[in-house]
Chain A
Amino acid sequence: MTTKTETASDCKIVTFTLGKQTFGIDMGALIEIREWDEPTPLPNVPTFIKGVSNLRGNVIPVVGLAERLGWEPSVLHARSCILVVSISGKQAGFLVDEVNDIVGITRGEIQPAPEVETIESSVIDGLVRISTRAKDGTRDENGTMVLLLDLEALSLTKHLDMAA
């Protein structure tokens, strides 16, 4: 991150990957990042709900985010982890392939999401290009395109009909 970006940034996002795509969510919604732990499966729920886990005494649903977004299910591996987020007071864990970074961005950098990018474009708040650290410590000046997720739109209670 350059100093310039840092001073100008007005919000922080957590970036992570699903397959080859990089996503970002608002840092404010993040509660914690946990290792993958097999959740307790639930009956009669859409397949993207992997089950429920115990988060400090709270029973929270664990969601296969890739499937939720309509992509191929994530394959579990060593860096698989769960982003625990709070959406309108409800907590949920999202299974992601790898957590990358915490990045400061400015609202002005966010571009509207193109309609055709995903099946359900409403879950994408917008796009933002960030510069990424390469393995040798230099910066990739082309940067990476990050899809910012609209967590409200991902709210699980919106899928009551699917679950019933």
Chain B
Amino acid sequence: MSDELDEIQAIFFEECTEGLTTAEQGLSAMQAGDVSAETIAGVFRAVHSIKGGAGAFGHADLTAFAHKFENVLDEVRAGKIAPTPGVVKVMLSSFDVLSDHVETAKGLAPRPNDAAALAALEKVLADKGADDGAAVPAAPAPAPAPAPVAAAPAAPAEDEFGFTPVAFSLDDFDTPAAPAASTASWTIRFKPSRAALANAGEPLLIIRELETLGATIEAVDVSDVPGLRDLDPEDAYFTWTLSMPGDVPQSDINDCFDFVAPDSLIEVTRNEVEAPAPAFIPVPVIEVTPAPEAAAAPEIDLIPFVPVTATIEDLTAQVQQVVADLAAAPMTPTPAPAPTETAAPKPASEASQTIRVDLSKLDLLLNLVGELVIRNSILADRLSPADRQRVELPELARLTRQIQDNVMSLRAQPIKQAFSRVPRMLRDLSVETGKTIELETVGETTEVDKGVIEKIGDPLTHMIRNAADHGLESTEERIAAGKSPAGTIKLSAEQKGARIFVRVQDNGRGINRERVKAKAIEKGIISADAVLSNEEIDQLICAPGFSTAETISNISGRGVGMDVVRSNVEALGGRVEIHSVPGEGTTFTMILPLTLAILDGMIVRLANQRFVLPLAHVLETVQPEAGQVKRTSPDSEVIDMRGEYVPVKRATEIFGLNDDRKVEDSLVVIVESEHGKVGLVVDTIDDRREVVIKSLDQNLHPIRGLGGATILGDGSIALILDIEALVASTNRYTPKGLAA
């Protein structure tokens, strides 16, 4: 049970992360003036779910804070508190505290000090948002008042059942003045309502439950039953009177009526021996659900949380076993290894169940599955054609392929995870620098290898800090320069071939090259007479020990600078590019390898060697007719594509491969990148499939013209062409020849 709960709790934490992301997006939208009912409801739901799960897992502090936060959100949702900039600001800082509470619940951080946030929330509730808090100079224009959300809540007095609930506390009854003597008893009168019946509340079940507590039916009053003609089978007419021994706690009796109150008639009267039944003293029993305080208390007996690390090793051992079996006894069908306990400890087959796994174990698994695929095809080759057709082999191949596909998809994650901490960072930076900073995010759903996501966090933080601190001007400077007072930082991600481009773009002052150069000379990074291009000067920012700020600021000057970004990114096999326009801003681009990304590829043969073309770049394939490919100079050709002349590249030119095939016997694949189109002459097209990109950087270094390599089903390696480089290199590519 504890394992199951641990796993479920791990899922809860994943949900918290998602919930926090949703809440933050919603709050950011609210800050930007979007106070639609949907946006508010989304934030409410996210916080509400966190509270619900936190309660179930006994995180009292998190529950309590989420509860207070939810109260404010609920009032905003109901239109009782206007989401003014001041209120949204309180909610944003509450969000930050909520995030901290989640970290605490995970056991990753000490308990945050939430006193200030709680007080601010309390104040919002008390003021009903009337007081817009301290002036928020940089806040956007006041948001319009929200439209009332959903149905107006019915006040209790307008209860359509005509029943007015009366506040009632169980405490008044739980401690009887005198210990219940066995001679004391309860008298219970119960008349279910029509509504309870309509809602499938079966009164007999309640009677039965009371009976199990020891009640006996004293009387059934049927005087309300009308004549047959007027009888409505869906209405309630009976009134039961029961007697219950006095030692049964009143709360147990109340529990039985939990669902039928308040619209039913329920009277519970205590009869003491000394004072025998003085007729009925009706006590309306209406509320037995826990009070808010009780809702925050953990009700499930929990075992302390221990992070789940799956024992994938056992799984890999199984894969290895399968590999070994296949290799050792290729002709003997081997029964699948029986699942062991450690391999399948999952309590329930839930669709969105998650588990955290060590990356290195995933890698190992992926490699082993790759081996399995290869053994599979070797086995197929060794069998006679008749045996090959038998159902087991195609089935085995299909299953293996499915395992491979699944394992491949395990490492890819949306880059959103790396971006998620940026909004909060910018809020803090905004306070620290006094600058108003707007954030724009593009391409958050770009899927990147999990390892890359984890490693770009620090470089990204530095780039953002750098942009906020050095890139953007102060509000005064911006106004003086005729720019909008608020600076913008645009964070974007996109995949191009086997690379991922992560950009941090500011619309600030741009790089002051004079000053950068002077500083570099002063620091001895370059000689005083060095002649540098603009790009080279910009790159100096990433030189070790370089800092342009006049004073070491608290923000980006913590003894490390952009040189750390560069070294981190290079350690990932990537590089940093800087593009700056004076007065307009600076863009830092991290170009990273997608070490294990999956690519939709076209497998082609060039001079009988297999290559992968990223399908995203392929426009069309043509079989050239005689004369369609024309030579425009001794070493350049074009293909006539319905009047458009597209440069043609041959394998010989690209890789110095031996290619004497006539173009009419070949196929021309038209590929496109942002630099234009190229027709690539290939021998044949073998296949179209998803391939795992294996970075060449991992064991070698990046090679121009290649986006990586992949391992095909037969174990051989196919190189992935970098279309970007291929197109860009048209007319200036210098073939170096292949290593022989």
The residue on A at minimum CB distance from B573 is A157
Contacts of A131 in B (CB 8 A): none
Q: Is the CB of B705 within 8 A of A54?
A: no
Contact of A51 among B699, B701, B718, B739 (CB under 8 A): B739
Confirm or deny: B694 has a beta carbon within 8 angstroms of a beta carbon on chain A: yes
The number of residues on chain B lying at the interface, defined by a beta carbon within 8 Å of a beta carbon of chain A, is 31
A41-B738 contact given A54-B711, A157-B701, CB 8 Å threshold: yes
A44 to B654: give the CA distance in the assembly, Å.
Answer: 10
Distance of B157 from chain A, by nearest CB (Å): 71
A52-B709 contact given A46-B739, A57-B371, CB 8 Å threshold: yes
A43-B701 contact given A51-B739, A56-B367, A59-B696, CB 8 Å threshold: no
A43-B370 contact given A54-B711, A59-B711, CB 8 Å threshold: no
A54 to B375: give the CA distance in the assembly, Å.
Answer: 13
Contacts of B717 in A (CB 8 A): 39-40, 52-54, 59
Confirm or deny: B288 has a beta carbon within 8 angstroms of a beta carbon on chain A: no
Within 8 A of A (CB), among B664-713: 694-696, 698-701, 703-706, 709, 711
A44-B703 contact given A56-B370, A57-B371, A59-B717, CB 8 Å threshold: yes
Contacts of A40 in B (CB 8 A): 609, 709, 716-719
Confirm or deny: A60 has a beta carbon within 8 angstroms of a beta carbon on chain B: yes
Q: Is the CB of A157 within 8 A of B609?
A: no
Contacts of A156 in B (CB 8 A): 699-701
Contacts of B719 in A (CB 8 A): 40, 42-43
Contacts of B654 in A (CB 8 A): 43
Q: Is the CB of A59 within 8 A of B656?
A: no
Q: Is the CB of A90 within 8 A of B711?
A: no
Confirm or deny: A160 has a beta carbon within 8 angstroms of a beta carbon on chain B: yes
Contacts of B609 in A (CB 8 A): 40-41
Q: Is the CB of B700 within 8 A of A58?
A: no
Q: Is the CB of A57 within 8 A of B711?
A: yes
Consensus secondary structure, chain A interface: mixed
Confirm or deny: B42 has a beta carbon within 8 angstroms of a beta carbon on chain A: no
Confirm or deny: A119 has a beta carbon within 8 angstroms of a beta carbon on chain B: no
A51 to B696: give the CA distance in the assembly, Å.
Answer: 11
Number of inter-chain CB pairs below 8 Å? 91
Contact of B705 among A43, A57, A60 (CB under 8 A): A43
Confirm or deny: B386 has a beta carbon within 8 angstroms of a beta carbon on chain A: no
The number of residues on chain A lying at the interface, defined by a beta carbon within 8 Å of a beta carbon of chain B, is 31
The residue on A at minimum CB distance from B739 is A47
Contact of A61 among B656, B700, B738 (CB under 8 A): B700
C-beta contact mask, B530-557 vs A, less than 8 Å → 1, else 0? Answer: 0000000000000000000000000000
Q: Is the CB of B718 within 8 A of A45?
A: no
Q: Is the CB of A52 within 8 A of B700?
A: yes
Confirm or deny: A91 has a beta carbon within 8 angstroms of a beta carbon on chain B: yes
Confirm or deny: B418 has a beta carbon within 8 angstroms of a beta carbon on chain A: no
Contacts of B33 in A (CB 8 A): none
Confirm or deny: A147 has a beta carbon within 8 angstroms of a beta carbon on chain B: no
Contacts of A44 in B (CB 8 A): 703-705, 736
Q: Is the CB of B718 within 8 A of A54?
A: no
Contacts of B695 in A (CB 8 A): 59
Contacts of A54 in B (CB 8 A): 711, 715-717
A52 to B366: give the CA distance in the assembly, Å.
Answer: 19
Contact of A43 among B700, B716, B718, B738 (CB under 8 A): B738
Within 8 A of A (CB), among B50-68: none
Within 8 A of B (CB), among A48-73: 48-54, 56-61
Within 8 A of A (CB), among B706-740: 706, 709, 711, 715-719, 736, 738-740
Confirm or deny: A82 has a beta carbon within 8 angstroms of a beta carbon on chain B: no
Confirm or deny: A163 has a beta carbon within 8 angstroms of a beta carbon on chain B: yes
Confirm or deny: A75 has a beta carbon within 8 angstroms of a beta carbon on chain B: no
Distance of A124 from chain B, by nearest CB (Å): 23
A65 to B344: give the CA distance in the assembly, Å.
Answer: 47
Contacts of A39 in B (CB 8 A): 717
Contacts of B703 in A (CB 8 A): 42-45, 163
Contacts of A60 in B (CB 8 A): 699
Q: Is the CB of A58 within 8 A of B716?
A: no
Q: Is the CB of A42 within 8 A of B739?
A: yes
A50-B739 contact given A40-B716, A40-B717, A59-B711, CB 8 Å threshold: yes
A50 to B700: give the CA distance in the assembly, Å.
Answer: 12
A46 to B655: give the CA distance in the assembly, Å.
Answer: 13
Distance of A72 from chain B, by nearest CB (Å): 14
13 further A-B contacts with Cβ under 8 Å, apart from A43-B655, A56-B367, A160-B701, are: A42-B739, A43-B654, A43-B706, A44-B703, A50-B739, A52-B696, A57-B371, A59-B696, A59-B717, A61-B700, A90-B700, A92-B700, A156-B700
Q: What are 10 A-to-B residue pairs whose CB atoms are below 8 Å?
A: A43-B656, A43-B719, A44-B705, A48-B739, A56-B371, A59-B698, A59-B699, A59-B711, A159-B701, A164-B704
